[in-house]
């Protein structure tokens, strides 16, 4: 089970998440988000991710900024992956892919019911709530790999308390969390990060 902890803005929290077993750390650069990171904060998380012997994906998460600009920003800041969230088109993905080799697509089944992995040649699909970063759970009924395809992550309202049942119900390849490991919007809890990673790992080994 691939685990991504999203919305990080400092080195210490990123190091903690990775030491506890995270496979990826996400940085949100999106105006209006309580997790909107500066370039310096983003670089601190990328540097932390790249200080480990095992490979960790440092993921830049953006929404409503020009896809090619976002891809250039991801290259400039050293991110391994660019995650384009929401209303991007296939042509946006194509223009980003010319600049950055690894692009993930994040979208909601509520707004895009026909969502399937690979439609935009993305490396991974992240299936999220219609309101990304809100921490609000959404209805997982009917969500499955049979519908979504080969490589997808589940996100949206996950927490240490519900991740095991969400994995059992939706059978994703990985999980992504932000609000569920916070004590207030934008403020991560080291303890909840540890609890989330342990719960996700033990659910997937059952």
Ligand X SMILES: O=C(O)c1ccccc1NCC(=O)[C@H](O)[C@H](O)COP(=O)(O)O
List residues binding ligand X (CB under 6 A). Answer: 6-7, 26, 28, 30, 33, 35, 61, 63, 85, 128-129, 132-135, 155-158, 176-180
Tokens of 28: 């949100």
Shortest separation between residue 40's beta carbon and ligand X, angstroms = 19
Q: Please report how close the Cβ of residue 53 comes to ligand X at its closest, in angstroms.
A: 26
Minimum separation from the CB atom of position 106 to ligand X (A):
6
Taking the least distance from each CB to ligand X, the nearer of 53 and 106 is 106
- What is the torsional sign of CA 110, 196, 176, 136? positive
Neighbours of 73 (CB within 10 A): 20
Nearer to ligand X, 53 or 139 (CB): 139
Q: Kindly tell me which of 129 and 195 has the beta carbon lying closer to ligand X.
A: 129
- Shortest CB 156 distance to ligand X, Å: 5
Residue nearest to ligand X (CB): 133
The H-or-E segment that residue 74 falls in is helix 67-77
Tell me how far apart the alpha carbons of residues 28 and 20 are, in angstroms, rounded to a whole number: 21
> If residue 25 lies in a helix (H) or strand (E), which one and from where to where?
strand 24-28
Nearer to ligand X, 57 or 128 (CB): 128
Counting Cβ atoms within 10 Å, is residue 134 exposed (0-12), middle (13-18) or buried (19+)?
middle
């Amino acid at each position: 089970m691939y685990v991504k902890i999203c919305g990080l803005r400092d080195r210490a929290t990123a190091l903690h998440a990775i030491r506890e077993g995270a496979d990826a750390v996400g940085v949100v650069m999106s105006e209006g988000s309580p997790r909107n990171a500066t370039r310096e904060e983003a670089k601190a998380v990328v540097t932390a991710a790249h200080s480990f012997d095992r490979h960790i994906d440092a993921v830049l998460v953006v929404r409503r900024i020009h896809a090619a600009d976002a891809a250039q920003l991801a290259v400039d800041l050293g991110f391994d992956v660019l995650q384009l969230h929401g209303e991007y088109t296939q042509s946006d993905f194509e223009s980003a892919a010319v600049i950055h080799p690894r692009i993930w697509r994040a979208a909601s089944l509520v707004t895009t019911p026909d969502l399937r992995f690979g439609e935009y040649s993305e490396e991974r699909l992240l299936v999220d709530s219609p309101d990304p970063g809100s921490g609000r759970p959404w209805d997982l009924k009917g969500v499955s790999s049979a519908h979504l395809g080969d490589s997808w992550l589940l996100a949206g309202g996950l927490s240490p308390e519900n991740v095991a049942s969400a994995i059992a119900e939706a059978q994703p390849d990985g999980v992504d969390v932000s609000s569920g490991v916070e004590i207030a919007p934008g403020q991560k809890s080291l303890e909840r990060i540890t609890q989330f990673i342990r719960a996700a790992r033990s659910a997937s080994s059952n």
